Structures are given as C-alpha cells and as structure tokens.
A and B are shown apart, each in its own frame.
Chain A
Amino acid sequence: MSFEFLWRLPVHGDGRAFRKDEWHRGDYARLETSRRVFARTGLGRDGFTYYDHLSQIARAAELTGFDGVFIPQSAAGEEPLVVAGALAREVRSLKLVPSLPAPFLSAVYTAKIGVSFQRLTGGRLAFDFVTEEPTPNAWHGHKWSVAEQIARTDEFLDVVKGFWNNKAFTFHGRYYEVENGGFSDALSGQTLPTIYLSGETEEALALSAKHADVHFLPLEPAAQLRARIADLDARARAHGRALRYGLQADIFARHSDGAAWDYVRRLWEEAAAKTVSISGNPAASLPLKAEAFDALIEGPNLWTGFGHVRSGPAAGLVGGYADVAERIAEYVEAGVSSFAISANPHLEEAYRIGEQLLPQVRARIGALRAA
C-alpha cells in the first residue's frame, strides 16, 4: 500500500503560540501583545503579503519530502482555490489539495476549474469537499443543514465526474441540470482529481462510500479506527468500490517524549493564562485551565486539546520522534494511507517533521512491509 504525507497550510495566520491573537505572521487576528512586530508577512510593508509566507512553507514541504499540501477551508482565511493557484507554479511536484464547499459552487464550473488546474500543474490537483455545521453567526449567512449540504455534494460529484468522463453528458437532478455537456478535445483526457471527503454522520459515510477516493477519519487510537474502516469498506464494496483512508492531525514531535509533552503543556499554560477562550465555537470549548491538560490525553501520544485553542482537527499526536513514528506506523497497519498534518509555526515545523520524523516513519513502514 502506498501512503502520502500532506502538509496542512496555515491559511488563517501562523505563529509559535497556541493562541491566534499572538500570531505575528499574517493579519488574521488583532495582536494582543504590545511587542513590536518583526515579521513582514501580511502587513503590507515592502510589498510582502501573507502569500509569500504560504509559498515559503509549501516549498519547505517540498524540499523536506512531503507529497503535497492540504489547503483547509476556514471562515476568515485565504480561499484555498486562490492559494492553490498561487502555489501551482512555485512548487514542482507537490500535490495540491484545496478544500472547497461544494454547495457554494457550480458543478460544471468546478469541473472546468479542475481541468484547467490539471493542465496548469501536470495533474497535481486533488479536491477535498467539506460540509460544516450551520451556526447562527456563519459569515456566509446560509443555514443549510449538513444533510442538505451532503445531498447537494452527492449530485455535485455525480455531475463533476459525469461531465469529466463523457463527451455528451446530460443530467437532470434535484439541484443540478446539464444538457449536452462534456469537454472538447483540447480539455479532455486530464486525470480526474482525487476526491477527499470526511464526516461521521450516516449521510457522510454513504456519500464517501459512493464518491470518495480518500475518506478522512477522526484521529482515535488505531483499534477504534479499524472498526470504522471495516464499516466503510463494507459500504464501499456495496458500490463496487474501495476507499483509501486519511487522518488530519497536528503533530508536536521532539527528540524525546518528555520534551514534546513539556513543550505542548507550556503552550497550553500560556494560553490558559489568558482569560478569553479563542476557540471558534465557545459553547463547545472548555475553560482553558491548566489542570484540564491531562484530561485531554486520550491515548498513547494522543492529545485532544487542539480543538480548544484553534479551529481545525481537535486531536493530535504529541511525543518523541520514535513514539510518534510508531503511532503512525500503527495507523498505516490499520489501513490509513493519507496523513494531512501540521504544527505551529508551520515553516520551521515542516522542516522538523520532514527531516526528523518522516524518515523514521518510512523506515517503520518499510519494516512492516518486509515482515
């Protein structure tokens, strides 16, 4: 089984701290510190923009052996479609995985964008499609339920794939309608982008069984993931398909287990010292208390505190390089083959993980295969 490591780009700011309002890279939060700002990115000084930082991170990921970049959808961050276009010619071989909200896009137009991206990048585009819980204060002012978003995404993917693969494509659905579609010769023959999906609801699992190439699972101990994988395998088989599986996680790895935990605990305590919770969903967040840290450890090297300090995946891996590599090898053994990972600050940590952790992971997976 082949496997891939994608570096998740910080499209809504970057910095060393846990708390967004202490990030000096980008202008995504009003800085609460009185320190003089040193970093140039995103300040409009000297012509630099935050995209210069994103570009540097992507190149670092390429140089240190990652297979691609995952570009997450976020409320107030840069739009992944735009980021993918900006980076397309700045990295040579990295796969680009922008995360897009399908219900907000025309299916035909998305297929067209996909074809053009494949022509631009030599076939390096993949699509991640997301749904989100409707909240009263969503910036986009829409209150589509997740079930409705998934129903739309289902038809959307029927159209994207049908349009891509057929010369005279006609479709009459509930949300989408196409007559005599399909790409002309110059645009046809490109590789359909790999489709990444996620979600744990019944509707989401059914959608993945039908349409996903890769399904992102929640980060849990490997034994629990095996059950989820067995379930999804069966659902996909009913469609005559086979899925691959992915995980999204922050990874804080250091030369030893103790050093990694000390570091994350210190970040947590610094964040907890402030009174305001900055989680995107205050109702769901714990008060950031120093003593809550240990309660968030849910397995060997598995810590679920990340969701309380920033948006994105709740759980992540913390530990020494050898231990984290061991956990990842366990996931590979359980059937996971895509890892979309990140850590703050993203440039330095791309080097650390690419140079120190991934070689150990590859060695372990090699050993697994040999055995």
Chain B
Amino acid sequence: MTQFHWRLPMHGDKADIGNSAVSRGNWSALRDGNQTPGLRHGRPDGFSYHDHLLEVAKAIEIAGFDGALIPSFPITDDPWVAATSIARQTRTFRFMIAFQPEWFNPLYAAKASASLQRLSGGRLLFNIITGGGGPQQLWWGDRIAHDDRYRRTTEFLDVFKGVWNGGPFSYDGKFYKVENAGLPEPLAGQKWPELYFAGSSNAALEAQGKHADFNLTHLEPIEQLRVKFDRVRELASKEGRRVKPAVRFNIFARRTEEEAWAEIRRAWGNVDWARYAGRFGQVRGDAVGSPSLSMHMPGPDKRVEDLKIGKFWAGFLPLGDPPALGVVGSYEQAAEAIDSLIDIGVEGFILAGTPHLEEALRVGEEVIPLVRGTAGIADIAAE
C-alpha cells in the first residue's frame, strides 16, 4: 500500500511562506508574534521548539498521514529526541528518523531501535543517509572517503539486520567486527523498521539493492525519475529483492490554480536573494545526486513562470523550502501530479509544505482524497 508521509520541520518553521524570517523556533531573532519560544513582556515564554514539533506531529496524525520524515542537519534538533518524546503523545504517527551510520555503532542502533519499537508499538522507520562528504561530514566528526561511505553503510546494515532477531551473529568487515552478537530477549524480533534510503550514485544504488525497502529521491522531471527507478529495480533484482521507489517534494496547493500562483508570486517578490545565495549558493560536498536543473536555476532575474518543468515547479529553494522541485497548483492538479508519480511506480511519498501544521491538514484533507486509486489515506490507515 502506498505510504504517505509528511515532514517535521526540524529546521524551524514560519507562519508565512512569503516571509523569509523563521517565526516558529529560534532560528531567527525572536520578535513579537514568534512562537515556541514566544515573547511575553519581551522575554521568552518558556515554551521550546519541541512544543511546536508535537503540535505538527499531532496535525499530521489527524490529517491521516502515515507519519513524517524527521530530518537531521547540523542546525536542527535531533530526530531521536523528537521521536522518543513524540511517541507517547501520538497513537499512529510513524517517525522516519534520518540517520547516518556513523552516529551510532550498529549494535547500539539496533538496541535503541528495538527499544523505540517497544515504546511506540512498532512505529519506527529510517531514512538512511550516507552523508554528502566534504566539510559537512567533518563537522559531524567523520572523515571517510567517498567510495568507502557506501561500503560502511552496507556493513552497518549487514550488522544491524544480522542482530535484529537475536544471535549469534558474527561479522568480520572493514568497519565493523563482532563475534556472537545478537539482541537479547525481549528486545529481539521487534517489528522491522523499514529503511528509506537516499543516494543516487552507483555505489548508493548497489547498497540499496542489498538493504533498502524504499529508494528515496528528491522530485525530478518524470523521465529522469523513470530512468532512475529502472536502475533501482535492476540492481535490487540482482540481489533477489524489490526496492520501492519513493519521492519527496513540497506541495503548494490552493482551491484554484490562480490562487496558488498568486500566493507563490507574492512570496517570490519577498525573496531575500542574498540570504538565498548564502544558504544554497555554497560549495556542496561530493554528493552526485542533486538533480541537474541548470536551465531552471532560480535567481532574481527569473520569473515564477520560467521555473515550470512539466507539472512541477523548480522555485522552492528561494522560498527556503528544499528540495528545489515541487508542485504548485489547485488541489486537483496536485493530486494529478501524485497520480503521475504513482503511474511510474512510486510507492512512498514524503510531502511537505510551509507552514507545516496548516499545510499538513490542507494536503491531508483536500489533496490526498483526490488521488486516483486511493480512497484517501484515512481509510487506508483504518484497514
């Protein structure tokens, strides 16, 4: 069954996509109208950003989504902290923890994951990230060569899986060596946390063939995605496995197409291009997965219309809302865009929109029920 997830805004959130300052959380200077923390008589009111994350998680749950991706970057709060504290305050919400294998030893990761499954009734999944390399990887305290990174990820998952249902499991890898390991009872044999897995290089796709449940990619033009998914299927079938395609993107949908674009134009007029250059113009790591959208690079010289690519729109980065490519339009058009992705085999969606609480409810109520072939995710969840 197709999975529909939303995204927890771990990087801060804002009331208006047309205003570049973050007003939920403390990622911009606090001002009147800010919340979590808010200002009472000029002082922070004691609420923390986690209070907002919990509100968003509950909205995602009520809106009928399966759960949400919980991204993890140097500037964000931590997904394990968010997931464990949200677990007891939600019922069906599934937390997709963004995770780099270097962060925990695989044995510890397995134990903490099993414990989280017991806490939540099996609501954990992962977005396994191998990391972009370069300076950002050294911020995390991780120096590793690009080509070795996927080998480490593969070894990590070999061990994580190997001990999940108990032992004895022994392994003699380049990065991990264990002897007669295995999760003890009653931690062993919990529900398997499905693995979404990001990365597009050959090394990444080979690693996915062995271990991923879903291949997660940013939205790209349909033909590019079709080619990529064929490759994912091919490499997975070599391992005798099936890896399901999954896509993440923003949806900006309104009652009518005109209303949606009018809002986008207003936001575009307020883009702080210097801030955009500072945040997205910098040299990236050595990741090869970023889509080639050079014809449609946003800039102050571009009009909103210049960034349309088929059913998609390439202007989300200047609005402070990665990934670059997403969907703008009426509720019907947004549903059609999702249908076109289901038609090329997509089985997992990670959607997002700013502000995250309000847009989760909007997309859950207005868009998903129009997606062909689904009776609405609320009904699916009830099955």
Contact = CB atoms under 8 A, between A and B. Distances in A.
A184 B279 CA distance: 14
B27 A116 contact: no
Contacts, number: 169
A339 interface: no
B84 A85 contact: yes
Contacts of A47: 121
Nearest to B137: A179
Interface stretch (A105-113, A213-221, A254-262): A105-113
A179 B135 contact: yes
A27 B112 CA distance: 17
B373 interface: no
A89 B178 CA distance: 36
Interface in B108-133: 108, 111-112, 114-116, 118-119, 121
B361 interface: no
Contacts of B81: 85, 88, 113, 116-117, 120
B201 interface: no
A122 B50 CA distance: 11
Nearest to B111: A79
Interface stretch (B183-191, B204-212, B268-276, B314-322): B183-191
B181 A85 contact: no
Contact of B84 (A42, A82, A104, A107): A82
Interface string A90-113: 100000000001011111110011
Interface stretch (B97-105, B251-259, B295-303, B344-352): B97-105
Given A49-B118, A186-B75, A109 B140 contact: yes
A142 B170 CA distance: 10
Contacts of B181: 138-142
A1 to B, nearest CB: 29
A28 interface: yes
B26 A78 contact: no
B87 interface: yes
Contact of A177 (B49, B78, B138, B167): B138
B107 A108 contact: no
B103 A106 contact: yes
Residue from A120, A176, A177 with most neighbouring chain B CB atoms (10 Å): A120
Contacts of A136: 180
Interface in A178-235: 178-181, 183-184, 186-187
Contact of B112 (A55, A81, A89, A112): A81
B25 interface: yes
B80 interface: yes
B238 interface: no
Contact of A141 (B118, B140, B143, B180): B180
Nearest to A170: B138
A136 B169 CA distance: 13
A112 to B, nearest CB: 5
B141 A178 contact: yes
A103 B108 CA distance: 10
B92 to A, nearest CB: 12
A42 B190 CA distance: 13
A63 interface: no
A84 B104 contact: no
Contacts of B78: 112-113, 115-117
B139 A86 contact: no
B48 to A, nearest CB: 5
A86 B178 contact: no
B107 A140 contact: yes
A157 to B, nearest CB: 13
B12 interface: yes
A327 interface: no
A51 interface: yes
B89 interface: yes
Contacts of A50: 118
A119 B105 contact: no
A119 B48 contact: yes
Contacts of A176: 141
Nearest to A13: B186
Interface string A129-144: 0000000111111110
Interface string B184-227: 11110000000000000000000000000000000000000000
A88 B80 contact: no
A176 to B, nearest CB: 6
B83 interface: yes
B82 A82 contact: no
28 contacts: A27-B186, A82-B80, A82-B84, A85-B80, A86-B85, A88-B84, A89-B50, A89-B85, A104-B108, A106-B102, A106-B141, A107-B141, A109-B104, A109-B140, A109-B141, A116-B77, A120-B77, A122-B48, A140-B111, A141-B107, A141-B163, A141-B170, A178-B138, A180-B139, A181-B139, A186-B12, A186-B27, A186-B75
The 6 closest A-B pairs by CB, nearest first: A85-B84, A141-B181, A141-B178, A76-B184, A116-B78, A179-B138
Interface of B: 12, 25-27, 46, 48-50, 54, 74-75, 77-78, 80-85, 87-89, 102-105, 107-108, 111-112, 114-116, 118-119, 121, 135, 138-143, 163, 167, 169-171, 178-187
Given A78-B118, A140-B178, A141-B182, 19 more contacts: A49-B118, A79-B115, A82-B80, A85-B80, A85-B85, A88-B85, A104-B104, A107-B141, A113-B78, A115-B78, A116-B81, A139-B182, A140-B105, A141-B179, A141-B180, A177-B141, A180-B135, A181-B138, A184-B74
Interface of A: 27-28, 42, 47, 49-51, 55, 75-76, 78-79, 81-86, 88-90, 101, 103-109, 112-113, 115-117, 119-120, 122, 136-143, 159, 171, 176-181, 183-184, 186-187
